[in-house]
Amino acid sequence: MTTTTPPPAPAPTAAGAAGGVASVPLLSVRDLVVRFRTQDGTIYAVNGIDFDLAEGETLGIVGESGCGKSVTNLAIMRLLPKPAGRIERGRILLDGQDLVVLSESEIRAIRGRDVAMIFQDPMTSLNPVLTIEEQMVETIRAHRTTSKEEARARAIELLEMVGIPKPETRLKAFPHQFSGGMRQRVMIAMALALDPRLLIADEPTTALDVTIQAQILEILARLATESGTALILITHDLGVVAGMTKRINVMYAGFVVESATTPELFALPSHPYTIGLLHSIPRLDSDGDEDLIPIEGRPPDQRVEPVGCPFAPRCAWRIDDCWSDNPGLAAIDGRAAVVMTGPAATHRIACFNPPTHDEALAGRPLREGFRPAPPPGTLPEDTGFEGLGSEEALEALEPQGAEHSPLLPRDEALLDAGRDRGQYPGDADRDSHR
Protein backbone atom coordinates (compact mmCIF):
# COMPACT_ATOMS: atom_id res chain seq x y z
CA MET A 1 0.00 0.00 0.00
CA THR A 2 1.30 3.39 -0.85
CA THR A 3 0.43 6.65 0.75
CA THR A 4 1.02 9.73 -1.25
CA THR A 5 -0.39 13.04 -2.24
CA PRO A 6 -1.16 13.20 -5.91
CA PRO A 7 -0.16 14.43 -8.32
CA PRO A 8 3.51 14.40 -7.27
CA ALA A 9 4.82 10.96 -8.04
CA PRO A 10 6.28 8.90 -5.27
CA ALA A 11 9.98 9.58 -5.26
CA PRO A 12 11.84 6.33 -5.62
CA THR A 13 14.45 7.58 -3.17
CA ALA A 14 11.85 7.88 -0.45
CA ALA A 15 11.33 4.16 -0.57
CA GLY A 16 11.91 2.46 2.69
CA ALA A 17 11.91 5.72 4.60
CA ALA A 18 8.60 4.85 6.21
CA GLY A 19 9.86 1.39 6.97
CA GLY A 20 7.45 -0.16 4.43
CA VAL A 21 8.77 -2.84 2.16
CA ALA A 22 7.21 -1.60 -1.02
CA SER A 23 6.49 2.04 -0.69
CA VAL A 24 7.10 2.38 -4.41
CA PRO A 25 4.08 0.98 -6.18
CA LEU A 26 4.54 -1.43 -9.04
CA LEU A 27 2.97 0.97 -11.46
CA SER A 28 2.44 4.65 -11.10
CA VAL A 29 0.78 6.69 -13.82
CA ARG A 30 0.99 10.44 -13.47
CA ASP A 31 -0.71 13.14 -15.50
CA LEU A 32 -0.83 10.93 -18.58
CA VAL A 33 -1.94 12.78 -21.69
CA VAL A 34 -2.35 10.93 -24.98
CA ARG A 35 -3.44 12.50 -28.22
CA PHE A 36 -3.90 11.31 -31.77
CA ARG A 37 -3.00 13.52 -34.68
CA THR A 38 -5.27 12.53 -37.54
CA GLN A 39 -6.41 14.03 -40.79
CA ASP A 40 -9.55 15.19 -39.04
CA GLY A 41 -7.56 16.97 -36.37
CA THR A 42 -6.32 16.13 -32.92
CA ILE A 43 -8.13 13.56 -30.84
CA TYR A 44 -7.87 14.16 -27.11
CA ALA A 45 -7.96 10.53 -26.10
CA VAL A 46 -6.51 10.63 -22.58
CA ASN A 47 -6.43 13.90 -20.72
CA GLY A 48 -4.23 13.68 -17.67
CA ILE A 49 -4.89 10.69 -15.50
CA ASP A 50 -3.25 9.47 -12.31
CA PHE A 51 -3.37 6.06 -10.75
CA ASP A 52 -1.18 3.56 -8.98
CA LEU A 53 -1.13 -0.16 -8.84
CA ALA A 54 0.50 -2.20 -6.12
CA GLU A 55 2.30 -5.48 -6.55
CA GLY A 56 -0.29 -8.23 -7.05
CA GLU A 57 -3.24 -5.87 -6.99
CA THR A 58 -6.21 -6.17 -9.33
CA LEU A 59 -7.62 -3.01 -10.83
CA GLY A 60 -10.68 -2.68 -13.01
CA ILE A 61 -11.05 0.06 -15.57
CA VAL A 62 -14.60 0.67 -16.73
CA GLY A 63 -16.21 3.20 -18.96
CA GLU A 64 -18.13 3.35 -22.19
CA SER A 65 -16.64 2.84 -25.60
CA GLY A 66 -14.07 5.41 -26.61
CA CYS A 67 -13.34 6.73 -23.15
CA GLY A 68 -9.67 5.88 -23.41
CA LYS A 69 -9.37 2.59 -21.57
CA SER A 70 -7.41 0.86 -24.28
CA VAL A 71 -5.38 3.91 -25.13
CA THR A 72 -4.27 4.29 -21.51
CA ASN A 73 -3.03 0.76 -21.43
CA LEU A 74 -1.48 0.81 -24.85
CA ALA A 75 0.40 3.87 -23.65
CA ILE A 76 1.74 1.86 -20.72
CA MET A 77 3.00 -0.73 -23.21
CA ARG A 78 4.16 2.09 -25.49
CA LEU A 79 2.14 0.42 -28.23
CA LEU A 80 0.10 3.39 -29.37
CA PRO A 81 -0.55 3.25 -33.10
CA LYS A 82 2.22 5.12 -34.85
CA PRO A 83 2.61 7.81 -35.94
CA ALA A 84 -0.82 9.17 -34.98
CA GLY A 85 -0.83 8.31 -31.28
CA ARG A 86 1.57 10.11 -28.95
CA ILE A 87 2.14 10.41 -25.25
CA GLU A 88 2.09 14.17 -24.96
CA ARG A 89 2.80 14.43 -21.30
CA GLY A 90 3.12 12.48 -18.11
CA ARG A 91 5.04 9.68 -16.56
CA ILE A 92 4.46 5.96 -16.40
CA LEU A 93 6.64 4.54 -13.68
CA LEU A 94 7.16 0.81 -13.47
CA ASP A 95 9.15 0.13 -10.32
CA GLY A 96 10.08 3.75 -10.36
CA GLN A 97 11.44 3.56 -13.92
CA ASP A 98 9.78 5.91 -16.35
CA LEU A 99 8.60 3.90 -19.36
CA VAL A 100 7.80 7.03 -21.35
CA VAL A 101 11.44 7.95 -21.85
CA LEU A 102 12.78 4.47 -22.47
CA SER A 103 14.39 3.70 -25.80
CA GLU A 104 12.65 1.36 -28.19
CA SER A 105 14.91 -1.56 -27.26
CA GLU A 106 14.57 -0.91 -23.54
CA ILE A 107 10.78 -0.92 -23.67
CA ARG A 108 10.89 -4.02 -25.83
CA ALA A 109 12.72 -5.86 -23.08
CA ILE A 110 9.91 -4.94 -20.70
CA ARG A 111 7.03 -5.85 -23.01
CA GLY A 112 6.01 -9.43 -22.57
CA ARG A 113 8.51 -9.96 -19.76
CA ASP A 114 7.40 -7.47 -17.07
CA VAL A 115 4.16 -6.27 -18.57
CA ALA A 116 2.03 -8.54 -20.71
CA MET A 117 -1.22 -7.82 -22.49
CA ILE A 118 -4.27 -9.77 -23.58
CA PHE A 119 -6.50 -8.24 -26.21
CA GLN A 120 -10.18 -8.17 -26.84
CA ASP A 121 -10.56 -10.33 -29.89
CA PRO A 122 -8.84 -13.71 -29.71
CA MET A 123 -9.94 -14.39 -33.28
CA THR A 124 -7.58 -11.75 -34.63
CA SER A 125 -4.94 -11.52 -31.92
CA LEU A 126 -3.06 -14.63 -32.93
CA ASN A 127 -1.08 -14.79 -36.13
CA PRO A 128 -3.00 -17.03 -38.54
CA VAL A 129 0.02 -18.34 -40.42
CA LEU A 130 2.10 -19.43 -37.42
CA THR A 131 1.45 -22.43 -35.21
CA ILE A 132 0.65 -21.97 -31.55
CA GLU A 133 4.03 -23.47 -30.80
CA GLU A 134 5.87 -20.99 -32.97
CA GLN A 135 4.06 -18.10 -31.36
CA MET A 136 4.60 -19.28 -27.82
CA VAL A 137 8.18 -20.34 -28.26
CA GLU A 138 9.17 -17.09 -29.89
CA THR A 139 7.70 -15.19 -26.96
CA ILE A 140 9.74 -17.12 -24.46
CA ARG A 141 12.89 -16.99 -26.51
CA ALA A 142 12.56 -13.27 -27.10
CA HIS A 143 13.36 -12.76 -23.43
CA ARG A 144 15.13 -15.86 -22.22
CA THR A 145 18.06 -17.69 -23.64
CA THR A 146 16.62 -21.16 -23.62
CA SER A 147 16.68 -23.93 -26.13
CA LYS A 148 13.68 -24.54 -28.32
CA GLU A 149 12.96 -27.73 -26.39
CA GLU A 150 12.94 -25.96 -23.06
CA ALA A 151 10.71 -23.26 -24.44
CA ARG A 152 8.43 -25.90 -25.85
CA ALA A 153 8.24 -27.69 -22.52
CA ARG A 154 7.32 -24.41 -20.89
CA ALA A 155 4.65 -23.82 -23.54
CA ILE A 156 3.11 -27.22 -22.79
CA GLU A 157 3.13 -26.45 -19.10
CA LEU A 158 1.41 -23.13 -19.75
CA LEU A 159 -1.25 -24.61 -22.00
CA GLU A 160 -1.99 -27.16 -19.30
CA MET A 161 -2.35 -24.35 -16.80
CA VAL A 162 -5.00 -22.64 -18.89
CA GLY A 163 -6.83 -25.90 -19.36
CA ILE A 164 -6.11 -26.85 -22.95
CA PRO A 165 -6.37 -30.61 -23.35
CA LYS A 166 -3.57 -32.55 -25.02
CA PRO A 167 -1.21 -29.58 -25.23
CA GLU A 168 1.58 -31.53 -26.93
CA THR A 169 -0.51 -32.11 -30.03
CA ARG A 170 -2.34 -28.81 -29.88
CA LEU A 171 0.95 -26.95 -30.05
CA LYS A 172 1.24 -27.95 -33.70
CA ALA A 173 -2.12 -26.46 -34.53
CA PHE A 174 -2.83 -23.15 -36.18
CA PRO A 175 -5.09 -20.57 -34.56
CA HIS A 176 -7.98 -21.21 -36.94
CA GLN A 177 -8.20 -24.73 -35.58
CA PHE A 178 -9.17 -23.39 -32.16
CA SER A 179 -12.43 -21.94 -30.91
CA GLY A 180 -12.54 -18.38 -29.64
CA GLY A 181 -12.44 -19.43 -26.01
CA MET A 182 -9.51 -21.74 -26.65
CA ARG A 183 -7.66 -19.00 -28.45
CA GLN A 184 -8.14 -16.68 -25.53
CA ARG A 185 -6.73 -19.38 -23.28
CA VAL A 186 -3.71 -19.52 -25.55
CA MET A 187 -3.40 -15.75 -25.30
CA ILE A 188 -3.49 -15.99 -21.52
CA ALA A 189 -0.93 -18.75 -21.53
CA MET A 190 1.30 -16.72 -23.79
CA ALA A 191 0.91 -13.62 -21.67
CA LEU A 192 1.89 -15.51 -18.55
CA ALA A 193 4.81 -17.25 -20.22
CA LEU A 194 7.43 -15.06 -18.60
CA ASP A 195 5.76 -14.53 -15.23
CA PRO A 196 5.08 -10.87 -15.85
CA ARG A 197 4.55 -8.61 -12.88
CA LEU A 198 1.69 -6.84 -14.55
CA LEU A 199 -0.93 -8.30 -16.84
CA ILE A 200 -3.24 -6.02 -18.75
CA ALA A 201 -6.39 -7.69 -20.03
CA ASP A 202 -8.27 -5.44 -22.45
CA GLU A 203 -11.85 -6.67 -22.54
CA PRO A 204 -10.67 -10.28 -22.66
CA THR A 205 -14.18 -11.72 -22.83
CA THR A 206 -16.16 -9.19 -24.83
CA ALA A 207 -15.78 -11.14 -28.05
CA LEU A 208 -16.65 -14.45 -26.47
CA ASP A 209 -19.77 -16.45 -25.88
CA VAL A 210 -21.42 -15.69 -22.55
CA THR A 211 -20.93 -19.24 -21.37
CA ILE A 212 -17.21 -19.10 -22.12
CA GLN A 213 -16.75 -15.67 -20.53
CA ALA A 214 -17.00 -16.94 -16.97
CA GLN A 215 -14.46 -19.70 -17.61
CA ILE A 216 -11.94 -17.33 -19.09
CA LEU A 217 -12.36 -14.85 -16.25
CA GLU A 218 -11.98 -17.63 -13.73
CA ILE A 219 -8.73 -18.78 -15.33
CA LEU A 220 -7.46 -15.24 -15.48
CA ALA A 221 -8.27 -14.53 -11.86
CA ARG A 222 -6.86 -17.81 -10.62
CA LEU A 223 -3.60 -17.56 -12.50
CA ALA A 224 -3.06 -13.93 -11.61
CA THR A 225 -3.59 -14.70 -7.94
CA GLU A 226 -1.42 -17.80 -8.01
CA SER A 227 1.48 -16.08 -9.63
CA GLY A 228 1.04 -12.83 -7.74
CA THR A 229 0.75 -10.92 -11.00
CA ALA A 230 -0.90 -7.55 -10.79
CA LEU A 231 -3.89 -7.33 -13.12
CA ILE A 232 -5.54 -4.47 -14.92
CA LEU A 233 -8.87 -5.60 -16.27
CA ILE A 234 -10.54 -3.37 -18.81
CA THR A 235 -14.23 -3.82 -19.45
CA HIS A 236 -17.55 -2.20 -20.21
CA ASP A 237 -19.17 -4.52 -17.80
CA LEU A 238 -19.47 -3.47 -14.18
CA GLY A 239 -20.61 -6.96 -13.34
CA VAL A 240 -17.30 -8.40 -14.47
CA VAL A 241 -15.13 -6.06 -12.46
CA ALA A 242 -17.31 -6.49 -9.39
CA GLY A 243 -16.24 -10.08 -9.01
CA MET A 244 -12.76 -9.86 -10.40
CA THR A 245 -11.06 -6.78 -9.06
CA LYS A 246 -10.24 -5.16 -5.78
CA ARG A 247 -10.29 -1.63 -7.04
CA ILE A 248 -11.97 0.24 -9.89
CA ASN A 249 -11.23 3.31 -11.97
CA VAL A 250 -14.23 4.70 -13.80
CA MET A 251 -13.18 6.54 -16.93
CA TYR A 252 -15.08 9.07 -18.97
CA ALA A 253 -13.86 10.87 -22.09
CA GLY A 254 -10.19 10.42 -21.28
CA PHE A 255 -10.49 11.25 -17.58
CA VAL A 256 -10.67 9.05 -14.51
CA VAL A 257 -13.83 10.37 -12.91
CA GLU A 258 -14.09 8.03 -9.98
CA SER A 259 -11.66 5.73 -8.25
CA ALA A 260 -12.48 3.53 -5.28
CA THR A 261 -12.14 0.07 -3.89
CA THR A 262 -14.68 -2.24 -5.46
CA PRO A 263 -16.90 -2.64 -2.38
CA GLU A 264 -16.92 1.09 -1.80
CA LEU A 265 -17.71 1.92 -5.40
CA PHE A 266 -20.77 -0.27 -5.38
CA ALA A 267 -21.83 0.79 -1.89
CA LEU A 268 -21.27 4.47 -2.37
CA PRO A 269 -21.10 5.40 -6.03
CA SER A 270 -20.43 9.10 -5.98
CA HIS A 271 -19.83 10.46 -9.44
CA PRO A 272 -22.90 11.23 -11.54
CA TYR A 273 -21.48 9.15 -14.37
CA THR A 274 -20.86 6.14 -12.16
CA ILE A 275 -24.34 6.51 -10.78
CA GLY A 276 -25.67 6.67 -14.30
CA LEU A 277 -23.73 3.54 -15.22
CA LEU A 278 -25.10 1.64 -12.27
CA HIS A 279 -28.62 2.69 -13.04
CA SER A 280 -28.37 1.81 -16.69
CA ILE A 281 -27.63 -1.87 -16.17
CA PRO A 282 -30.11 -4.39 -14.85
CA ARG A 283 -29.02 -5.81 -11.53
CA LEU A 284 -28.94 -9.54 -11.26
CA ASP A 285 -30.40 -9.47 -7.78
CA SER A 286 -33.28 -7.20 -8.68
CA ASP A 287 -36.78 -8.53 -9.18
CA GLY A 288 -36.92 -7.21 -12.68
CA ASP A 289 -39.30 -4.30 -12.36
CA GLU A 290 -36.62 -1.84 -11.32
CA ASP A 291 -36.46 1.24 -13.51
CA LEU A 292 -33.47 1.36 -15.79
CA ILE A 293 -32.36 4.89 -16.49
CA PRO A 294 -30.22 5.05 -19.61
CA ILE A 295 -27.55 7.73 -19.74
CA GLU A 296 -28.92 10.09 -22.32
CA GLY A 297 -26.80 11.75 -24.95
CA ARG A 298 -23.47 10.79 -26.29
CA PRO A 299 -19.93 11.11 -24.96
CA PRO A 300 -18.29 14.35 -25.98
CA ASP A 301 -16.55 14.80 -29.28
CA GLN A 302 -12.95 14.05 -28.44
CA ARG A 303 -11.74 16.11 -31.35
CA VAL A 304 -12.13 19.27 -29.31
CA GLU A 305 -9.93 20.06 -26.38
CA PRO A 306 -11.97 19.33 -23.26
CA VAL A 307 -13.13 22.36 -21.32
CA GLY A 308 -14.92 22.05 -18.02
CA CYS A 309 -16.27 18.78 -16.76
CA PRO A 310 -16.48 16.33 -19.66
CA PHE A 311 -19.71 14.90 -18.31
CA ALA A 312 -21.45 18.26 -18.01
CA PRO A 313 -23.60 17.99 -21.14
CA ARG A 314 -25.18 14.82 -19.85
CA CYS A 315 -25.13 15.51 -16.14
CA ALA A 316 -28.22 16.19 -14.10
CA TRP A 317 -26.21 17.62 -11.24
CA ARG A 318 -24.17 20.13 -13.12
CA ILE A 319 -23.68 23.65 -11.94
CA ASP A 320 -22.28 26.67 -13.75
CA ASP A 321 -18.67 25.86 -12.89
CA CYS A 322 -19.01 22.50 -14.58
CA TRP A 323 -19.13 24.18 -17.96
CA SER A 324 -15.92 26.09 -17.47
CA ASP A 325 -13.69 24.31 -14.96
CA ASN A 326 -12.42 20.78 -14.85
CA PRO A 327 -12.97 19.09 -11.53
CA GLY A 328 -9.78 17.25 -10.70
CA LEU A 329 -9.84 13.85 -9.10
CA ALA A 330 -9.78 14.38 -5.36
CA ALA A 331 -10.65 12.58 -2.16
CA ILE A 332 -14.34 12.35 -1.58
CA ASP A 333 -13.96 13.62 1.97
CA GLY A 334 -11.70 16.45 0.97
CA ARG A 335 -8.65 15.13 2.75
CA ALA A 336 -5.31 16.00 1.28
CA ALA A 337 -3.51 12.77 2.07
CA VAL A 338 -4.56 10.12 -0.37
CA VAL A 339 -3.95 6.41 -0.31
CA MET A 340 -3.48 5.36 -3.91
CA THR A 341 -3.51 1.57 -3.69
CA GLY A 342 -4.71 -1.33 -1.64
CA PRO A 343 -7.86 -2.04 0.34
CA ALA A 344 -7.69 1.29 2.13
CA ALA A 345 -7.36 3.29 -1.08
CA THR A 346 -9.00 6.67 -0.89
CA HIS A 347 -12.32 7.04 -2.65
CA ARG A 348 -11.77 9.82 -5.16
CA ILE A 349 -14.09 11.52 -7.60
CA ALA A 350 -13.88 14.37 -10.08
CA CYS A 351 -17.03 16.37 -9.45
CA PHE A 352 -18.04 19.87 -8.36
CA ASN A 353 -21.46 18.91 -7.19
CA PRO A 354 -21.39 15.36 -5.93
CA PRO A 355 -24.72 13.61 -5.57
CA THR A 356 -25.73 12.58 -2.10
CA HIS A 357 -26.15 8.97 -1.15
CA ASP A 358 -29.91 9.22 -1.53
CA GLU A 359 -29.56 10.81 -4.92
CA ALA A 360 -27.17 8.06 -5.91
CA LEU A 361 -29.79 5.52 -5.00
CA ALA A 362 -32.51 7.41 -6.84
CA GLY A 363 -30.31 8.09 -9.84
CA ARG A 364 -31.29 11.76 -10.02
CA PRO A 365 -30.98 14.98 -8.03
CA LEU A 366 -33.51 15.16 -5.24
CA ARG A 367 -32.90 18.73 -4.18
CA GLU A 368 -35.88 21.02 -4.16
CA GLY A 369 -36.03 23.16 -7.26
CA PHE A 370 -32.62 22.13 -8.63
CA ARG A 371 -32.12 22.38 -12.33
CA PRO A 372 -28.96 21.52 -14.26
CA ALA A 373 -27.11 24.66 -15.26
CA PRO A 374 -27.69 25.58 -18.90
CA PRO A 375 -24.69 25.86 -21.17
CA PRO A 376 -22.87 29.17 -20.97
CA GLY A 377 -24.02 31.77 -23.42
CA THR A 378 -27.58 30.53 -23.38
CA LEU A 379 -30.39 32.42 -21.73
CA PRO A 380 -31.76 30.68 -18.68
CA GLU A 381 -34.94 29.73 -20.51
CA ASP A 382 -32.96 28.13 -23.28
CA THR A 383 -32.82 24.64 -21.95
CA GLY A 384 -32.23 22.69 -25.13
CA PHE A 385 -28.54 22.30 -25.73
CA GLU A 386 -27.95 21.27 -29.25
CA GLY A 387 -28.98 17.70 -29.23
CA LEU A 388 -26.96 16.60 -26.27
CA GLY A 389 -29.50 14.83 -24.14
CA SER A 390 -33.12 14.99 -25.08
CA GLU A 391 -35.70 17.18 -23.44
CA GLU A 392 -37.51 14.11 -22.17
CA ALA A 393 -34.36 12.78 -20.63
CA LEU A 394 -33.86 15.98 -18.74
CA GLU A 395 -37.40 15.86 -17.56
CA ALA A 396 -36.95 12.32 -16.44
CA LEU A 397 -34.02 13.52 -14.42
CA GLU A 398 -36.02 16.37 -12.94
CA PRO A 399 -37.03 16.03 -9.29
CA GLN A 400 -40.53 14.67 -9.00
CA GLY A 401 -43.10 17.38 -8.69
CA ALA A 402 -40.63 20.15 -9.29
CA GLU A 403 -41.94 23.13 -11.14
CA HIS A 404 -41.09 23.00 -14.79
CA SER A 405 -40.70 26.70 -15.14
CA PRO A 406 -37.93 27.47 -17.57
CA LEU A 407 -37.07 30.52 -15.55
CA LEU A 408 -36.38 28.61 -12.40
CA PRO A 409 -33.12 29.94 -10.95
CA ARG A 410 -30.43 27.69 -9.68
CA ASP A 411 -30.62 27.06 -6.01
CA GLU A 412 -27.36 28.41 -4.70
CA ALA A 413 -28.19 27.57 -1.14
CA LEU A 414 -28.36 23.88 -1.86
CA LEU A 415 -25.04 23.95 -3.54
CA ASP A 416 -23.52 25.76 -0.64
CA ALA A 417 -24.94 23.13 1.61
CA GLY A 418 -23.23 20.50 -0.48
CA ARG A 419 -20.01 22.39 -0.12
CA ASP A 420 -20.48 22.61 3.63
CA ARG A 421 -20.93 18.91 3.89
CA GLY A 422 -17.35 18.65 2.84
CA GLN A 423 -18.06 16.68 -0.31
CA TYR A 424 -16.36 19.24 -2.38
CA PRO A 425 -12.75 18.93 -3.41
CA GLY A 426 -10.48 21.80 -2.48
CA ASP A 427 -9.87 24.44 -5.08
CA ALA A 428 -6.17 23.83 -5.07
CA ASP A 429 -6.61 20.20 -6.04
CA ARG A 430 -9.06 21.07 -8.68
CA ASP A 431 -6.82 23.59 -10.33
CA SER A 432 -3.81 21.38 -10.36
CA HIS A 433 -5.33 19.37 -13.15
CA ARG A 434 -5.78 22.08 -15.63
Which DSSP string corresponds to 351-410?
-SSPPPHHHHHHTS--STT--PPPPTTS-TT----TTSS-HHHHHHHSPTT----TTPPP
The binding track of 187-216 with respect to ligand ATP, each residue x by CB under 6 A or -, is ------------------------------
Dump strand ranges (E) for 63-160. Answer: 85-94, 97-98, 115-118
Which residue is at the shortest CB distance from ligand ATP?
Answer: 70
Which of ligand SF4, ligand ATP, another protein, none does 345 bind, CB closer than 5 to 8 A by kind?
Answer: none
Kindly tell me which residue out of 217, 312, 330, 345 binds ligand SF4, with binding defined by CB under 6 A: 312
Which residue's CB is nearer to ligand SF4, number 15 or number 396? Answer: 396
Segment near ligand SF4 (CB under 6 A); pick from 36-44, 116-124, 278-286, 309-317: 309-317
What is residue 265's three-state secondary structure?
Answer: helix
Cβ 372 to ligand SF4 shortest distance, Å: 8
Q: Could you tell me if 144 and 129 are in contact, meaning their C-beta atoms sit under 8 angstroms apart?
A: no
Measured from the CB atom, the residue of 204 and 389 that comes closer to ligand SF4 is 389
Least distance between ligand SF4 and beta carbon 373 (Å)? 8
Rule CB under 6 A: say whether 119 interacts with ligand SF4: no
**Binding positions for another protein, 87-106, rule CB under 8 A:** 104
- Of the two residues 270 and 302, which places its CB atom closer to ligand ATP in the complex? 302
Out of 254, 327, 328, 363, the only residue in the binding site for ligand SF4 (CB under 6 A) is 327
Q: Does 108 bind another protein (CB under 8 A)?
A: yes
309 binds ligand SF4 (CB under 6 A): yes
CB 62 within 8 A of CB 235: yes
Under the binding rule (CB under 8 A), the answer on residue 229 touching another protein is no
What long-range pairs does 290-297 form, CB within 8 A, spacing at least 24? 291/363, 293/363, 293/364, 293/396, 293/397, 296/389, 296/390, 296/393, 296/394, 297/388, 297/389, 297/390, 297/393
Per CB under 8 A, the segment of 21-29, 73-81, 152-160, 412-420 that binds another protein is 73-81
Given Mg ion, another protein, ligand SF4, none, residue 178, with its beta carbon under 5 to 8 Å by kind, binds none
Q: What's the closest the beta carbon of residue 35 comes to ligand SF4, in angstroms?
A: 22
Contact characters 260-289, ligand ATP, x per CB under 6 A:
------------------------------
φ, ψ of residue 362 in degrees (nearest 5): -75, -25
Report long-range pairs for 387-396 (Cβ below 8 Å, ≥24 apart): 388/297, 388/298, 388/313, 388/314, 389/296, 389/297, 389/313, 389/314, 390/296, 390/297, 393/296, 393/297, 394/296, 394/316, 396/293, 396/364
Residue spans of alpha helices (H) in 204-324: 210-227, 238-244, 262-267, 272-280, 320-324
- State which residue, 65 or 400, has the beta carbon closest to another protein: 65
Tell me how far, at minimum, the Cβ of 196 lies from ligand ATP, in Å.
Answer: 21
Choose which of 9, 187, 248, 251 interacts with another protein (CB under 8 A): 187
Query: In angstroms, what CA-CA distances link 58 with 112, 113, 216, 221, 387?
Result: 18, 18, 16, 9, 39
Which of ligand ATP, another protein, Mg ion, none binds 26 (CB below 5-8 Å, type-dependent)?
none
Angle, helices 180-191/132-143, rounded to nearest 10 degrees? 20
Residue 302 sits in the site that holds Mg ion (CB under 5 A): no
Contact set with ligand SF4 (CB under 6 A): 271-272, 309, 311-312, 315, 317-318, 322, 327, 351-353
